[in-house]
Structure 1
Amino acid sequence: MNTKNLINLTKVAALSLGLFMTSCATEDFEEIPESTGIELVEKYFLGELIKVENLGNGIYADGDMLLSDEQLSDSPSEFDKDPIPGEDITKLGLANGITKWPNNTIIYVLDGSLSNNQIQVTRNSMQEWSSKTNIRFKERTNENYYVTIVNNGDNCNCASANLGVIGTRGRINMGVRTSEVVMIHEIGHTLGYIHEQTRSDRDNHVRILFENIQNGAESQFRKNNNARLIGDFDIKSTMMYGAFTFSKNRQPTITLLDGSTHPRRRPELSAGDIAGTNQVYQAGDGDGGGDGDGGTNDTCEGVDEWVRGQQYNVGDKVTYRGFLYERDFTRWNRILECDATPQGDICDGVNPYSRNNSYSPGDKVTYRGYLYELQSNFRWSNQGQCGN
């Protein structure tokens, strides 16, 4: 597969504005008071050291991005930048990193705490994504994996969201005055995208003014050298922070190389956002109808064999030892066996994984839209995508 024109993990991991701005001569934004009395802990994210706030229950806040225990580690060595297909056998619930939503579909629940305005903002933001990309949305009926959208009660144009699927769940917390600009950004986080300003090549395009950044927010501006660059840096990405985001003195935190500030965000996806999302969530990976229940008709025909040392991007497919694999943000997912005749959904009749259950070798569970089997070494092996 030709990867030269594919876009990047950070790009598609680059669409969020949760704690949106303050008011300056060139841009209106929320006044974000500097955090005081909040204890930050050091963790590794994608192999890079960051400081996060421990919210309890295994959730940590990095600004508007909510990270789980399974996405963080205490050592950089626990992150494998280039895993081998089929050898990413893992203990479910640990070290799974960033994971896409199955079938290009976000299943969602609108919590009863939401106001009519928040619901309208949410639907408008979903429409922006679904009308321009392969992403679809479906209100939950009985699906096991879904994101819950709630009102956090804060009187602000702000929000926060989990990064990708956490187990089988996700969450978006909306402020009372959350706008489409912010909500479109938070959906980007839900899809698995991190911030554009953390790209390893960002210094070729912008300057980060750490002297103007609030204490405790510095990690949101640190470069992540393990994020995969596929496209060009995109100053217009919905995942790009505003020029004054997290300012402690009403001075810009981000400028262009000439010292000027970039235009304020708009409630829309950039061309790079659209191209990146359609590469990561490719057409045909869902059923096209957006109901979240379909599978893929992919086969191994025409797909190249995995090559050690070659760089692969999210959405790339390879064959390896007789199976078709697709690259996720931090792992390979086994899709199906080459030349196998589909026999219906491989997950039919298999119960979802539960932390409260005791399992024995040979047991199978579903987890994040995939079938897993417990091996004799008590590690779970990905057996393929549900729907096949």
Structure 2
Amino acid sequence: MKTKNLFNLVKVTTLSLGLFITSCTNESFEESPENLETPQLVEKYFKGTLIEVEELENGMFKWGDVEFNPEQLQDEKTIYDSNQTPGEIDAKLGLASGVRKWRDNTIVYVLDRSLTSNQRDVTFKAMEEWTSKTNIKFKERTNERSYVTILNNGDQCNCASASLGDNGSRGRINMGVRTGVGVMTHEIGHTLGYLHEQNRSDRDQFVDIFPENIQNGAISQFRVDNNSVNPGPFDVRSIMIYSSFTFSKNRQPVMLEKNGDRIPFRSVLSAGDIAGTNKLYPAGDGGGGDTDTCEGIDEWVSGRQYQVGDRVTYRGKLYERDFSSWNLIKECDTTNPPADICDGVAEYNRFTRYNPGDKVTYRGFLYELQSNRRWSNQGRCGN
């Protein structure tokens, strides 16, 4: 039986990647160690859609293998404007923070001391899968403000979780002791900003979902998300799709292709993953210098649908579309902007009361609070 909007049916009581998955590589997602207590779940909104997440000790929230920072979620339903005007967001930065691309196509990382030699080897092989086939690059952190910390979660499983997109200094990937290259490649996809392929709004045209076979509490992993921004058309071969047996409770398939074919565990990037990533993270996207020109860039048009990576001019400024908002690149008449406009400016704190004229840094950008209680994006911070 096919189902839609599954996230309203039951609560998530198992926050792990499912078991009973087979592939020609003998690698599979596994559930977390047994005898774990059922996590306490809370309801939050992600870009206007209600989801149930586990609150972690570090203040992050976990949904399946995806981790959200508090500013990516809201307690109340808000109208998510996918075609917002460049330059302004609501007074609470988190309401529009959503998901951000990595600057310069580069994921900056820190390898935690907890990692084993095998986990390091797996990490580098997964990185190579992305760098050898797409425009994505990796750089070990020196003094960058935005980076992802790769940690050993201590679980004896081929499992992992990752924060969604660029999360400033709070990004992380948590690896199980036996995490394989395929799983790690999948988690890097989340770090790039991608959700699961089976959550896409058009998925029912390509696959059938069988909720009667899904583990109790895991059905929200197969919900339809109208805000999914995975690149390109639906791709049943994507590294970001679950297999036919992920979260199966009875060794029966939870998802099949329309023709009845099983979906195996994917361990390498598909042609769609490669093409889509190179579209969202195009070659030569340096995020500064001579590539940031207003010449030949059309003015923003209200009502027009824009894609991630699109650039527009608006009121004399150049903007680039991110997953959830517009990022200011530069003033159109400014050839050499300051090296770092964020020097001496404190990071945004959601518990601080700000006044008009106050400036904060937030996930690699400088914001100024306007008299109408809306934050104005003042541009990227320098490294």
The interval holding the TM-score normalised by the smaller chain is 0.7 to 0.9
Q: How far 1:354 moved relative to its partner?
A: 4.8
Superposition map of 1:256-335 within 5 A: 256-266=257-267, 268-286=268-286, 297-335=291-329
Superposition map of 1:2-13 within 5 A: none
CA distance, structure 2, for counterparts of residue 55 and residue 234 of structure 1: 32
- When structure 1 is superposed on structure 2, of 229-238 and 319-328 the one drifting more is 229-238
CA distance, structure 1, for counterparts of residue 188 and residue 203 of structure 2: 23
Matched with 2:20 is 22
Matched with 2:158 is 157
- When structure 1 is superposed on structure 2, of 85-94 and 151-160 the one drifting more is 85-94
Matched with 1:371 is 366
CA distance, structure 2, for counterparts of residue 107 and residue 85 of structure 1: 27
CA distance, structure 1, for counterparts of residue 221 and residue 242 of structure 2: 9
Matched with 1:10 is none
Distance 1:24 1:249, change over 3 A: farther
Secondary structure at the aligned position of 1:49 is classed as: strand
Q: How far 1:363 moved relative to its partner?
A: 4.0
Report if the CA contact (8 A) 1:144-1:352 is conserved: no
Matched with 1:382 is 377
Distance 1:337 1:271, change over 3 A: same
Runs in 1 of length 4+ with deviation above 6 angstroms? 25-28
CA deviation string 1:254-291 (max 9, x = no partner):
1011222023312x21111112212222223227xxxx
Secondary structure at the aligned position of 1:53 is classed as: strand
Distance 1:300 1:238, change over 3 A: same
Secondary structure at the aligned position of 2:56 is classed as: strand
Report if the CA contact (8 A) 1:333-1:382 is conserved: yes
Distance 1:309 1:94, change over 3 A: closer
Distance 1:382 1:36, change over 3 A: same
TM-score scaled by structure 1? 0.85
Report if the CA contact (8 A) 1:208-1:255 is conserved: yes
Secondary structure at the aligned position of 2:272 is classed as: helix
Secondary structure at the aligned position of 1:243 is classed as: coil
Report if the CA contact (8 A) 1:134-1:277 is conserved: yes
Q: How far 1:362 moved relative to its partner?
A: 3.2
CA distance, structure 2, for counterparts of residue 280 and residue 45 of structure 1: 21
Q: How far 1:173 moved relative to its partner?
A: 0.3
AA in 1 matched with 2:255:
I
Matched with 2:12 is none
CA distance, structure 2, for counterparts of residue 373 and residue 85 of structure 1: 14
Distance 1:111 1:257, change over 3 A: same
- When structure 1 is superposed on structure 2, of 253-262 and 346-355 the one drifting more is 346-355
Unaligned 5+ runs, structure 1 = 1-17, 288-293
Matched with 2:63 is 62
AA in 2 matched with 1:243:
S
AA in 1 matched with 2:264:
P
Q: Is 1:116 the counterpart of 2:136 in the alignment?
A: no
Matched with 1:209 is 210
Secondary structure at the aligned position of 2:68 is classed as: strand
Matched with 2:357 is 362
Q: How far 1:214 moved relative to its partner?
A: 1.2
Q: Is 1:106 the counterpart of 2:114 in the alignment?
A: no
Q: How far 1:226 moved relative to its partner?
A: 2.7
Report if the CA contact (8 A) 2:72-2:94 is conserved: no
Report if the CA contact (8 A) 2:29-2:183 is conserved: no
Report if the CA contact (8 A) 1:97-1:330 is conserved: yes
Superposition map of 1:37-52 within 5 A: 37-52=38-53
Secondary structure at the aligned position of 2:123 is classed as: helix
**What is the RMSD computed on CA atoms of the aligned residues?**
2.6
Q: How far 1:65 moved relative to its partner?
A: 0.5
Distance 1:229 1:64, change over 3 A: closer
Q: How far 1:137 moved relative to its partner?
A: 1.0
- When structure 1 is superposed on structure 2, of 129-138 and 37-46 the one drifting more is 37-46
- When structure 1 is superposed on structure 2, of 351-360 and 52-61 the one drifting more is 351-360
Secondary structure at the aligned position of 1:203 is classed as: helix
**Number of equivalenced pairs:** 364
Distance 1:187 1:295, change over 3 A: farther
Unaligned 5+ runs, structure 2 = 1-15
Report if the CA contact (8 A) 1:101-1:368 is conserved: no
